Structure formats: C-alpha cells, structure tokens
Amino acid sequence: MSIKIAIQEKIFIIVVAITAIIFITYLSYANYYFDYKIFLAFSFLTFLAENFYIKLPHRGSSVSVSSTITISSLIIFGPLIGATTALFNAIVWRDIKDRTPTYWWLFNGSQGSLSAGVAGLVYIQFGRLLHGSEGFVRSDFPSMLLPIFLVALTFFIVNTSLVSITISLAESISPIAIWRANTVWAIPNYFSLMPLALAFAQIYMSTGMIGLVLMFIPLLVARQTFQVYGKLKNTYMETVKALVVALEAKDPYTKGHSERVSQLSEKIGRLLKLGEEDLEKLRYAGVLHDIGKIGTAKYILRKPGKLSEEEYSRVKRHPETGALILREIKLLENVIPAVFHHHEQYDGSGYADGFSGEEIPLLARILSVADSYDAMTSPRPYRPAMTNELASQELLSCSGTQFDPKIVEIFVDSLKIDYGSGNKHGGTEQLQLDEFVEVKNSIS
Ligand SMILES: [Fe+2]
Ligand SMILES: [Fe+2]
C-alpha cells in the first residue's frame, strides 16, 4: 500500500518530531524523575492498551485506554516518564500489518510524547502553585480533581491540535474545520476516561505494578464483550443493507436515496445536538425509511407518469409495511416510530396516522425534511436536480405546514454554510414516487 504524504505534511511531521526530541532532552536535563524499570513497565502497558483497542461500530474509529495509562503515568511520575512512555502509543500491530508509512509512526510517537510531556509540566506547575509540592496523587481526593482535569484538557488540546494541523496540511482544509469534525464528538468519551486514569494511579500507588496489571483483566473482559456487541451490530447493519439491496433491485429510483437520507438525517440530528443513541436511530431509520416499498407492486414503483388514486393509496402503505418488516428484527424495533411516521406533515395532513406538530416523533420530523430535500435535489426524468438554493426555498415555503419549522431553519442555515449559494446537492439518483407526491405542490 503506498500512501502519498504531502511535502508540507512531511515538513510539519519532522518539525513535531524534532520538537519532541528537544522537549524530552530538556525534561531529562531539568532532572525530572526517570527510572528505567518504571519506564519499561508503563511502556509495555501502553503498548498492550493501544493494541487491545476496541473498534467502534461506526465511523471506522476505535477507542483504547493507552492515553489513560499515559496520563496515569505522568500523574504518578511526572512529565519525563509520561513523555517517554507515550512514544509507545505509536507502536500498533495493525499499523505494522497495514504497512503504515514511517512518517505516521514518527508523528504518532512525537505528538503523543509532546501531549503527555506538556500535560505533565502543567500538572507539576499547578502542584507547585497550589500546594508548594510537585504532585497531587498523595493529596486529598477533591483537591486532585482540578489538576487532573487540567492535565486531561492540556493533553487533549495538544494532541487534537497537532493531529488536526497535520490532516489540514494533507487535505488543504482549515484545521479548525478538521478539529470540529473529528474531535468534538469524542470529547465526552475522552473525558469519561479520566476517572480511570485516576484509578490507575491510585491502584499503582497502593498496590504497585501487580495491581495495575490485574486491573487489565476486567478491561480485557469488557473489551471482549464490546467486540461481540460490535460484531452483532455489524451483522444487523448487514441485514439492513441486504434489505435495502432488495428494495433497490425492485425500485431503481431508490438507489442511493436511502443512504443519503440516512446521512442527511444524522447531520440534522447533530445540528439539533441529539445524543449518540438518537443519531444511531437516525442512521438506521434513514437507510430503512422506504423499506416498506418492498411490498409495493413493481409497476407502481417504476411508473414514470402520474399515479392513479388507487396506486397512490398503495404507495401510501409503505410506512406501515416498513414497520411490519422491522418488527421482526429485534434490534431495529426502536426505529419503527421514525419509519412509520416519516410521511406525517406538521399540519396533520400527512400519513400514516395524520399526526401533527410535536405529536409526530422528532426523528420522523427530521427524516421528513432530509427525505424531501434529497428528493428535490436529485434529478428526475423530466427535470434536472434542483439547486440547493431552490430546494432550501421550497423547504422554507413548506415550513410550518409540511415540516417542523425549527428543523427547517437549522437545516437551511447549515446548507448556507456548506454550499454557499447556487450549488447542487451531491445526489445523482432519481426521485422516488412518494417524494414526488410529497413535494408536488411546491415544485413548478
Ligand atoms: Fe417514504
Ligand atoms: Fe424516501
């Protein structure tokens, strides 16, 4: 595998690596605590933790407790042990397997080391300032919370800034945009690991290395459980995809639409600051919202012209059929309300139940906006895709009647940022029949 690394990225990585070397040299000349046995023991734990990472079921990302080990090491022993053991964050078996470029190894090691070293210095300085001593672990419980929070914050800021700058150099995008997109969602997860760092430190202080190694056993069991859960989730997602493939085979107009509605719905969910659980429901519900069309006759789905009254009433059954299908899949039961109500309208004139306003489940109101936007911005046999601007205007003109005004407002505002003006949505697929019916009043 050959991965191209931009020249400016290489230069930045070399600068970061040289800074890390100078920094570690400074720490050792400044006589910060260092002991080879401790260094080796904590490096080994860091290496173990980084390699027994947990794959998250989506985003293709993973979580490990290696930074937690690093932070606990710097809490106990100070910046030099922290900065040197953090180098072992870079040694990951999967990188050897994937033949990750040397530059990335160099970067991961250096940035981990700088993050830990700077956090360690903040910790020590803060200790001097508050207590006239250099550590907090031996002090009372509440008084160590603030410095530990500062350590976590410093580590997080240095780590994510360096990573964002590197990605921005490779992709020529603003580092702030990269930082927002890649790190903001991880903040709660990251800070939730801090009590664990504190626990590691306390266990080491009271029981030594043996206690810390024993601490790893429940973590490995938890990891195993999580992996099984992750695999189960993937299996469900595959089931979902198989269902969508079946629908796409029957109705070519659906191709790509389900996936885009899923992405748009998740985006709206994030704008509304919904929790991860709801975002996951939105992803599934988006992909599956039209799954009930499997039960609609092919000739109706493929009919290019206007539908008869009878045909339209059959299309209108798809939310109900979708709910029936999903009832059979245990893990997808919780997306049924969103799927069942995705054609409700805010003024109560939609289907399947004729619900109105807040009576319509929030996720269904979100799906409805995403669904219609994708329908409008996808080309149809008799008209090209509408521009983002025009589709936004349509959404606004149906705000309060067809759509939840709050959702339209926040979504249209975000589109202004994403597209500027006049651009088309990335959709290239055909409009679906029901979306045609849905937006027919607002499209000339
Ligand atoms: Fe639909
Ligand atoms: Fe749809």
Closest ligand (CA of 373): 2
For residue 231, give the H/E element and its range: helix 209-250
Phi, psi of 54 (to 5 degrees): -115, 125
Give 69-78 pLDDT, tens digit per residue. 888 888 888 8
Percent of the chain with pLDDT over 70: 83
Per-residue confidence (pLDDT) for residue 420, from 0 to 100: 56
CA dist 429 and 437 (Å) reads 17
User: Does residue 64 carry a pLDDT above 90?
Assistant: no
Mean pLDDT score, 162-187: 79
- CA–centroid distance, residue 258 to ligand 2 (Å): 7
User: Does residue 226 carry a pLDDT above 80?
Assistant: no
CA dist 50 and 385 (Å) reads 47
Per-residue confidence (pLDDT) for residue 7, from 0 to 100: 85
- CA–centroid distance, residue 87 to ligand 2 (Å): 49
Closest ligand (CA of 265): 2
Q: Would you call 380 helix, strand, or coil by DSSP?
A: strand
Identify the weakest region by mean pLDDT among 50-59, 171-180, 282-291.
50-59
Q: Residue 336 has which token pair?
A: 């049924």
pLDDT class for 92, splitting at 50, 70, 90?
Answer: confident
Most confident stretch, 25-29, 50-54, 176-180, 189-193: 25-29
Domains in the chain, ordered, with CATH?
A: 7-207 (1.10.1760.20), 229-439 (1.10.3210.10)
pLDDT class for 319, splitting at 50, 70, 90?
Answer: very high
Helix ranges, 251-349 (H): 257-271, 276-288, 298-301, 309-315, 318-327, 336-340
- C-beta of residue 7 within 8 angstroms of C-beta of residue 52: no
CA dist 212 and 44 (Å) reads 12
- Cα 147 to its chain centre, rounded Å, is 29
Q: Judge if pTM exceeds 0.85.
A: no
- C-beta of residue 149 within 8 angstroms of C-beta of residue 119: no
Per-residue confidence (pLDDT) for residue 193, from 0 to 100: 75
Mean pLDDT score, 1-7: 65
CA dist 416 and 422 (Å) reads 10
- Nearest partner of 259 among 275, 274, 236, 243, judged by Cα: 243
- CA–centroid distance, residue 343 to ligand 1 (Å): 6
Closest ligand (CA of 264): 2
Q: Residue 275 has which token pair?
A: 């929790």
Percent of the chain with pLDDT over 90: 34
Give 238-268 pLDDT, tens digit per residue. 777 787 888 888 877 767 888 899 999 999 9
Determine the straight-line distance between the first and last CA of the chain, rounded to whole angstroms. 51
- C-beta of residue 160 within 8 angstroms of C-beta of residue 178: no
Average pLDDT, the chain: 81
Cα-Cα-Cα-Cα dihedral sign, residues 397, 403, 405, 409: negative
Phi, psi of 149 (to 5 degrees): -60, -40
To the nearest 10 degrees (0 to 180), the angle between helices 362-376 and 257-271 is 130
- CA–centroid distance, residue 118 to ligand 1 (Å): 53
DSSP E strand boundaries for 1-157: 54-55, 62-63
- CA–centroid distance, residue 144 to ligand 2 (Å): 53
Closest ligand (CA of 322): 1
- CA–centroid distance, residue 319 to ligand 1 (Å): 7
Closest ligand (CA of 261): 2
Rg (CA), the chain: 27
Mean pLDDT score, 161-189: 79
- CA–centroid distance, residue 289 to ligand 2 (Å): 6
Q: What are the Cα distances from residue 340, in Å, to 14, 18, 144, 272, 364?
A: 55, 58, 51, 21, 8
CA dist 45 and 49 (Å) reads 6
- CA–centroid distance, residue 370 to ligand 2 (Å): 9
Per-residue confidence (pLDDT) for residue 428, from 0 to 100: 28
